[in-house]
């Protein structure tokens, strides 16, 4: 993982031996509660069972990290170990108690999960969106901090524009991230769920879906305007701009002038595009 991410994690959880204030405590498992900022919604039951078996044989080798919250302890890092410990019927677990604000707890929980790189695309998108909304990060800040490319952040966040029922299909693996991104290119957004179900029913790959969407979009185009033939150069530039802005882009040329049309689907989407263009509000 890139060095930017390391700053957020290592600042709170250094890799050198524990310091004096990092003593390990035994905490009753009944007093532990899940992290309210946990970005992971899906846990692999089989993996948890395997970890529980390992814990029964060897115990918990790495302490979890918690913070005190009233009479309870909120888990900052180590929810998989906590779940496995419960499954293994442990009465208490080793933990390091840290003092941290809600903002710190959210950032560490999200960054720690992103560092593992096994979140679903939707979970990852929601994690990015949480950091942007609640910690006032820009997409540029986030890209630098995580060592990710700006398009990587943008393309994930765009998935949140999908209807909820389609986001669930991406989340459970019925649709890939590529399918999700491609579906956003459909001009008639109301037909996205219909097309998503068709992808699953007929096991369509992303390229097949792209071709199907071209057919759907051409129907819309015929209803609204005459079809304009574009040369290969213009088509290539449109593809390049679509990748850069993460949305549909049209280049229209006439004899003496041309124009570029960039589509957006919400106020937030417009703000995202303006941010890419580095247009600041006065």
Q: 201-234 pLDDT, tens per residue?
A: 999 999 999 888 888 887 765 555 444 556 777 8
The answer to whether position 208 is within a domain reads yes
Which has more pLDDT, 264 or 185? Answer: 185
**Among 78, 100, 122, where does a domain finish?**
100
**Comparing 36-50, 163-177, 189-203, which segment has the lowest mean pLDDT?**
36-50
Residue 196: inside a domain, yes or no? Answer: yes
**3-class SS of residue 259:** strand
Q: Are residues 27 and 94 in the same domain?
A: yes
For the ranges 51-55, 161-165, 176-180, 240-244, the lowest mean pLDDT is seen at 240-244
Q: What is the DSSP string of 221-256?
A: HHHHS------HHHHHHHHHHHHHHTS-EEEEE-SS
Q: Are residues 203 and 246 in the same domain?
A: no
Provide the annotated active-site residues: 79
Q: Is residue 262 part of a domain?
A: yes
User: What would the pLDDT profile of 14-70 be if each residue is shown by its tens digit?
Assistant: 333 345 456 788 989 999 988 777 767 667 788 888 888 988 888 888 898 898 888
For residue 227, CA distances in Å to 42, 213, 217, 218, 222 come to 45, 16, 11, 8, 7
Supply the pLDDT for residue 245: 83
If asked whether residues 204 and 241 sit together in one domain, one would say no
Domain-ending residue, one of 50, 76, 100:
100
User: What local confidence, expressed as pLDDT, does residue 112 receive?
Assistant: 72
Write out the residue range of the structural domain in which residue 236 sits. 232-274
Domain count, the chain: 3
Separation of alpha carbons 115 and 121, rounded Å? 14
Whichever domain contains 51, its CATH number is 3.90.1530.30
Q: Which residues of 156-172 are buried (b: 16+ CB within 10 A; e: fewer)?
A: bbbbbbbeeebbebbbe
Interhelix angle 121-134/139-146, nearest 10 degrees: 120
Q: What are phi and psi of 70, to 5 degrees?
A: 65, -125
Judge whether 107 lies within some domain.
no
Strand 64-69, strand 92-97: pairing: parallel
Judgement on whether residues 207 and 256 belong to the same structural domain of the protein: no
Mean pLDDT: which of 44-48, 186-190, 215-219, 242-246 is highest? Answer: 186-190
207 and 260 assigned to the same domain: no
Q: For residue 76, is it within any domain?
A: yes
Domain boundary residue, one of 100, 125, 141: 100
Q: In this structure, are 199 and 247 located in the same domain?
A: no
pLDDT for the residue numbered 4: 37
Residue 188 has pLDDT above 80, yes or no: yes
Higher pLDDT, 228 or 193: 193
142 located within any domain: no
């Amino acid at each position: 993982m890139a060095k930017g991410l390391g700053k957020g994690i290592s600042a709170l959880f250094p890799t050198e031996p524990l310091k004096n204030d990092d003593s390990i405590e035994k905490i009753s498992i009944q007093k532990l509660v899940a992290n309210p900022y946990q970005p992971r919604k899906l846990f692999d039951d089989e993996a948890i069972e395997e970890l529980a078996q390992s814990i029964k044989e060897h115990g918990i080798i790495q302490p979890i990290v918690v913070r005190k919250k009233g009479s309870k302890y909120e888990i900052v890092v180590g929810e998989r170990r906590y779940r496995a410990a419960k499954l293994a019927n442990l009465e208490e677990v080793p933990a390091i108690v840290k003092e941290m604000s809600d903002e710190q707890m959210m950032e560490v929980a999200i960054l720690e999960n992103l560092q593992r790189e096994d979140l679903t695309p939707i979970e990852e998108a929601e994690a990015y969106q949480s950091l942007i909304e609640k910690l006032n990060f820009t997409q540029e800040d986030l890209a630098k901090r995580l060592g990710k490319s700006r398009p990587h952040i943008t393309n994930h966040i765009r998935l949140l524009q999908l209807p909820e029922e389609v986001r669930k299909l991406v989340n459970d693996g019925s649709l890939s991230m590529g399918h999700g991104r491609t579906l956003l290119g459909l001009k008639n957004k109301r037909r996205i769920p219909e097309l998503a179900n068709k992808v699953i029913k007929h096991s369509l790959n992303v390229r097949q879906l792209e071709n199907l969407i071209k057919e759907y979009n051409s129907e819309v185009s015929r209803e609204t305007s005459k079809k304009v033939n574009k040369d290969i150069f213009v088509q290539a530039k449109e593809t390049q701009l679509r990748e850069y802005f993460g949305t549909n882009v049209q280049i229209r040329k006439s004899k003496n002038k041309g124009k570029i049309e960039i589509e957006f689907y919400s106020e937030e989407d417009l703000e995202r595009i303006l941010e890419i263009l580095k247009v600041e509000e006065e």
